[in-house]
Amino acid sequence: MAISFRDRVAIVTGGASGIGRALCAELAGRGAMVVCADIHYDGARTAVAAIGPRAAAAALDVTQSEEVARLVEDTARTYGRLDYMFNNAGVAVGGEVRDLTLEHWRQAIDINLWGVIYGTTAAYAVMLRQGSGHIVNTASAAGLVGEPGLIPYSVTKSAVISLSTALRAEGHAFGVRVSVVCPGFVDTAIYDHAIGVRIDKAEFLKNLPVRLVSAAAAARAILRGVERNRSIMVFPFYARLAWWLMRIHPDALGGLHRKTLAKLRATRSGAQ
């Protein structure tokens, strides 16, 4: 059954750009009140200015649990409740494991996993009190199939998927819904801000065998899944196909992964 977002209250982390900004715009356009939260506060304010009065900007570093908890509690207090928590902020860490340091792993884990854990647990506490709410965590198709050259990213996104599917079962009895989003390659600023180690990001994008999904299309797909209370949202079709193939035969994507690595290694010497 389709639901209405009118007069619902939502927080979107990573809301200044990409999927987050598109979600803020789409939610506000459907009548929700949206808190656009981002570490880049000026970017959040710019997004809110473009969206209009049904959006408010907030400065937020998702790696700081106190900041996340404060924003969630303040939002619930200001608007009387919190209906949706979109834990969307993330960072891509690219490079082969042989070139990565533990600090690269920590950066991926702090933002992509701890950031989601902080947002999830803070929102879950509020929603338990309310007896309702929906937590939507952004993972990635890379978390379902693993992606060579993006292993810290894949690992953190796999953990987000497990967190979300397990909490969905726990929250059901209390009226709290949990979903996880697993998109393929989306056209966002995550590539511009990616931490790349001996990877030529321009070449990486040029050699992708698929088209990038627009952020607006991704936001619409996510909200369709939220309306239908989907547990796992995987899009576009090639991402679902890859997931199905991996479930049928874990080595099904081995050839494609080797080709991907070969292309990455071909530009390795010229990359930073």
pLDDT of res. 230: 97
Residue 31: phi and psi, rounded to 5, are 100, 5
pLDDT tier at 126, thresholds 50, 70, 90: very high
DSSP single-letter state for residue 7: T
Section 22-42 average pLDDT: 98
- Top pLDDT among 255 and 114 is at 114
pLDDT tier at 95, thresholds 50, 70, 90: confident
pLDDT of res. 10: 98
Q: Mean pLDDT score of the chain, rounded to an integer?
A: 91
pLDDT tier at 251, thresholds 50, 70, 90: confident
pTM given for the model: 0.90
pLDDT tier at 2, thresholds 50, 70, 90: low
pLDDT of res. 202: 67
Q: Quick: pLDDT tens for 190-230.
A: 656 667 666 666 666 666 667 889 999 999 999 999 999 99
79 is catalytic: no
Residue 34: phi and psi, rounded to 5, are -120, 130
40: its two tokens: 């880049």
Helix, strand, coil abundance in the chain, percent, nearest 5: 55, 20, 30
Q: Which of 87, 222, 95 is nearest to 159 (CA)?
A: 87
Q: Which of 84, 118, 124, 153 is catalytic?
A: 153
pLDDT(272) > 60: no
pLDDT tier at 269, thresholds 50, 70, 90: very low
DSSP single-letter state for residue 36: E
pLDDT tier at 271, thresholds 50, 70, 90: very low
